């Protein structure tokens, strides 16, 4: 069985290595592992998809909980939850099939985020199955490159995975830590390129 586990972890170096190391040391199988920020800069959130029977799942949860830098752990075995995967896929799409591909992406509520001479990049999010189905549909056109984030998940309803004592967290006025984030490094386009780029 594939199970989704969420772990709230302290946002500091070595935590990902510790979690990943624990999985390999104990022979647990990771299908995907996603880690990203939360609204609280002290904590990151991991979403891990593991292949495990019930007993192994129990051990995975407990072993995660044992790691000192792991603050909270929960699995979604017994509760309804929303799970989403995000994909960027670059397809071969010469002008004569371009509209077909765009139409397919539209049917899946995907977005075209880049168009080149013979390629097209689609952004698509949703349940894993939906992404899989899209991949199979567009495979005949030729997949140049594909990247998926892996699943992130959240329980339905009011229940939340937070550290104890941060339930009523409000960002301090005017000091949202997220606002201070550095932009991703990008090559700046030259003037010539900017002039050649169509408006928008």
Least separation in angstroms between residue 88's CB and another protein is: 31
DSSP per-residue string spanning 39-69: SSTTEEEEEEEEE--HHHHHHHHHHHHHSTT
Rule CB under 8 A: say whether 161 interacts with another protein: no
27 binds another protein (CB under 8 A): no
Binding flag, residue 77, another protein (CB under 8 A): no
Q: How far is the CB of 3 from another protein (least distance, A)?
A: 17
Are 114 and 44 a contacting pair, CB within 8 Å? no
Name the one residue in this structure whose structure tokens are 């799970």. Answer: 83
**Which of the ranges 53-61, 82-90, 97-105, 174-182 carries the binding residues for another protein, by CB under 8 A?**
53-61
Burial class, 134, CB count within 10 angstroms (exposed 0-12 / middle 13-18 / buried 19+): buried
Quick one: 22 or 104, whose CB is closer to another protein? 22
Contact between 120 and 137 (Cβ < 8 Å): no
Give residues in contact with another protein (CB under 8 A).
8-10, 13-14, 17-18, 21-22, 25, 42, 55, 58-59, 62-63, 65-72, 163-166
């Amino acid at each position: 069985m594939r199970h989704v586990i969420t772990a709230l972890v302290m946002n500091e170096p070595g935590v990902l290595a510790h979690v990943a190391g624990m999985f390999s040391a104990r022979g647990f199988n990771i299908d995907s592992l996603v880690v990203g920020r939360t609204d609280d800069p002290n904590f990151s959130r991991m979403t891990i998809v593991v292949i495990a029977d019930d007993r192994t799942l129990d051990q995975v949860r407990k072993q995660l909980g044992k790691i000192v830098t792991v603050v909270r752990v929960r699995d979604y075995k017994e509760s309804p939850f929303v799970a989403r995967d995000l994909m960027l896929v670059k397809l071969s799409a010469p002008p004569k099939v371009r509209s077909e591909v765009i139409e397919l992406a539209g049917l899946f509520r995907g977005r075209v985020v880049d168009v080149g001479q013979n390629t097209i990049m689609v952004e698509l999010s949703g349940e894993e199955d939906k992404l899989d189905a899209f991949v199979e549909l567009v495979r005949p056109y030729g997949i140049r490159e594909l990247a998926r984030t892996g699943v992130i998940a959240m329980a339905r309803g009011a229940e939340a995975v937070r550290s104890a004592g941060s339930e009523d967290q409000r960002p301090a006025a005017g000091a949202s830590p997220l606002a201070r984030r550095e932009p991703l490094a990008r090559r700046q386009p030259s003037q010539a390129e900017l002039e050649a780029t169509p408006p928008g």
